[in-house]
């Protein structure tokens, strides 16, 4: 409860700071909180915000979901099959170090400017941290416990389920958090580079025309999505920690 009150206090302080700067800087650059609120009302009433939000969430969830489905199993496989991991990890790290923007022209050439290209851009950004953290988690499994389990005749599936997987969970959750953030950023980038739609498209339109109240609405909407995803992952982590503690 105390943390919630502290957060509310920080939020109020940020709004007051925002209001103060809106009074001393040109309104064209920093709109007031009230002007931003009225802009949000207009965007909602006109249906622009809901349409753009649906477009963005569709791309984001598709790309991020695909990154989870591929990144976690492949990372765990690389961590448990050590030869495979040592063979592939250098290529994974090389791809991770390459700016995703460098691939956008190639993606557009092969996939065009539609939803599939944008989804793949999101996937490409989110999958690397998810895969690498799952791989690191599997490598971090307690070797002594694994050897002990093998000595008493435990099967590979049981060792994976009861030793490797619980040890990899904190790493995997960290990968999901980082992947969620990068995926959201890549969603906006994809919408700017390909067909200008969604929240990224509105950012470009309102930014280029200096409609800053509407621009702030879109920025806050993206921030709100980030908060929701982070909170959901935190709740998931708590549930998985209980499962891990119960030795399930």
Instruction: Report domain 39-245's class.
Output: mainly alpha
Domain ranges of the chain: 39-245
pLDDT single digits (tens) 212-234: 889 999 999 999 998 898 888 88
DSSP state letters, 119-168: HHHHHHHHHHHHHHHHHHHHHTS-HHHHHHHHHTT--HHHHIIIIIHHHH
Q: Are 216 and 39 in contact (CB under 8 A)?
A: yes
Q: Token pair of 237, please?
A: 């982590």
Q: Using alpha carbons, list the distances in angstroms from residue 65 to 57, 107, 176, 179, 221.
A: 11, 19, 10, 10, 21
pLDDT single digits (tens) 37-67: 999 999 999 888 889 899 999 999 999 999 9
Count CA atoms closer than 13 A to 101's CA, side-chain side: 5
User: How many Å apart are CA 134 and CA 155, to the nearest integer?
Assistant: 22
Count CA atoms closer than 13 A to 106's CA, side-chain side: 7
Q: Which residue matches tokens 């791809």? A: 95
Confidence bin at 146 (pLDDT 50/70/90):
low
* pTM metric for this prediction: 0.85
């Amino acid at each position: 409860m105390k943390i919630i009150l502290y957060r509310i206090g920080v939020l109020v302080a940020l709004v007051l700071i925002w209001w103060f700067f809106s009074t001393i800087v040109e309104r064209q650059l920093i709109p007031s909180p009230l002007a931003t609120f009225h802009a949000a009302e207009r965007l909602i009433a006109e249906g622009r915000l809901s349409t753009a939000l649906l477009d963005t969430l569709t791309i984001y969830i598709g790309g991020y979901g695909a990154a989870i489905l591929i990144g976690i199993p492949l990372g765990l496989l690389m961590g448990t099959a050590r030869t495979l991991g040592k063979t592939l990890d250098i290529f994974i790290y090389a791809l991770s170090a390459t700016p995703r923007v460098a691939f956008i022209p190639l993606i557009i050439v092969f996939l065009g400017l539609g939803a599939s290209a944008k989804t793949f851009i999101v996937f490409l950004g989110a999958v690397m941290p998810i895969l690498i953290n799952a791989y690191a988690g599997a490598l971090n499994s307690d070797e002594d416990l694994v050897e002990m389990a093998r000595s008493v005749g435990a099967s590979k599936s049981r060792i994976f389920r009861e030793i490797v997987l619980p040890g990899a969970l904190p790493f995997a959750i960290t990968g999901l958090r980082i992947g969620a953030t990068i995926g959201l950023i890549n969603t906006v980038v994809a919408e700017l580079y390909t067909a200008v739609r969604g929240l990224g498209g509105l950012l470009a339109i309102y930014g280029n025309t200096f409609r800053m109240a509407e621009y702030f609405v879109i920025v806050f909407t993206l921030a709100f999505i980030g908060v929701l995803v982070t909170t959901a992952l935190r709740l998931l982590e708590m549930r998985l920690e209980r499962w891990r503690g119960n030795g399930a």
